[in-house]
Structure 1
């Protein structure tokens, strides 16, 4: 199911090229930020992975250089340089592999919200998990201008801050906000509301 189906339009995208999609699952639904293949974030991610790989290669490749290039103690110099290049390259590669796109999971079975990082290869990594009982409300942070995306934000209970969960077209996020606000309601409250709606017509008929 596409998020556009919620908004009643063919596509939901910002002028920046960002598009939101919603996929129903057996346990809830997933909201993804979809972008063009060669967008800026994907390019930065690929460049960072390449840089990290080059640094790791240099960490081992410098052992092939003449020892005379490394001063009086070439073994120690090479070891320090190898450690620095290797650790830096591995850290950059790991950070880039985490992904720079956000994927938001609404798990109605476990009653929890999960924010994942998704990289350009479609791999996801859990960033944060928030039980629904800890969410006070969800609200839409509207952009100052129409050519900028809006943000869907969770406000946590007990003043524990806010968590941004989705970015995209304001109209699409408005529809998502309505659905999420309904899903955040406790199950008991939903049952009581449903029972009330069924009892009111029955009581009205008896009164008449």
Structure 2
């Protein structure tokens, strides 16, 4: 599994209106399709990103403001303390800004042209970053981890070879996940033994 020189496909190129299910939003493209999990984390991603950007700006302003605001003390006795505080505020603001711009919403790209599965993070401006990528022949198995507790959704995973590295594709009603599993099994050309409908080991 390699990520070097692997890029996420653009958000455009949709061939039809997205199909919204309880577990995922499915977008067909000219190169394959995108599965966007309808998870709480994805639903909150834009809000969290905006909050991170807001607080990052506030921290940077607070760090620099103690030098330029009217009445700011710049005597030698406080110079070291103010320099240290400024450094901390600016660094924290920079980390928050970097975190928000990396993208907090995730999607799974099934690229039928390149024969590749990609886990992608996308920010609210549409900029994408590949987190994990594997070729179809590197997919060891596709399976549903069935929930035995009420209000806890079942989850659909792809496993990298025979390792413990997993890509979560969707979570939601088992009937939808079964349909997605069948489609993935066909698209990935997985051997029958690779597709398991039993609980995850």
Provide the TM-score with structure 1 as the length reference. Answer: 0.69
2:152 to 148, 153, 156: 148
1:67 aligns with 2:74: yes
The alignment partner of 1:92 has SS state of helix
What is the total number of aligned residue pairs between the two structures?
Answer: 172
The alignment partner of 2:35 has SS state of strand
Which one is further off, 44-53 or 141-150? Answer: 141-150
Q: Deviations over 1:18-66 (max 9, x none)?
A: x521111121111113579x95444333222211221122222121221
Distance 1:34 1:59 in 2: 38
The alignment partner of 2:77 has SS state of coil
Q: Which residue of 2 aligns with 1:135?
A: 139
Residue segments in structure 2 that go unaligned for 5+ positions in a row: 1-15, 192-201
The alignment partner of 2:159 has SS state of strand
Distance 1:2 1:174 in 2: 22
Does structure 1 retain, via aligned residues, the 8 Å contact 2:159–2:165?
Answer: yes
Distance 1:3 1:147 in 2: 26
Q: What value does the CA root-mean-square deviation take over the aligned residues?
A: 2.8
1:98 to 94, 98, 102: 102
Which structure dedicates a bigger proportion of its chain to helix? Answer: 1
1:33 aligns with 2:42: no
Does structure 1 retain, via aligned residues, the 8 Å contact 2:156–2:168?
Answer: yes
Does structure 1 retain, via aligned residues, the 8 Å contact 2:119–2:167?
Answer: no
How far apart are 1:125 and its partner, in Å? 2.1
The alignment partner of 1:152 has SS state of strand
Distance 1:77 1:107 in 2: 53
How far apart are 1:104 and its partner, in Å? 0.7
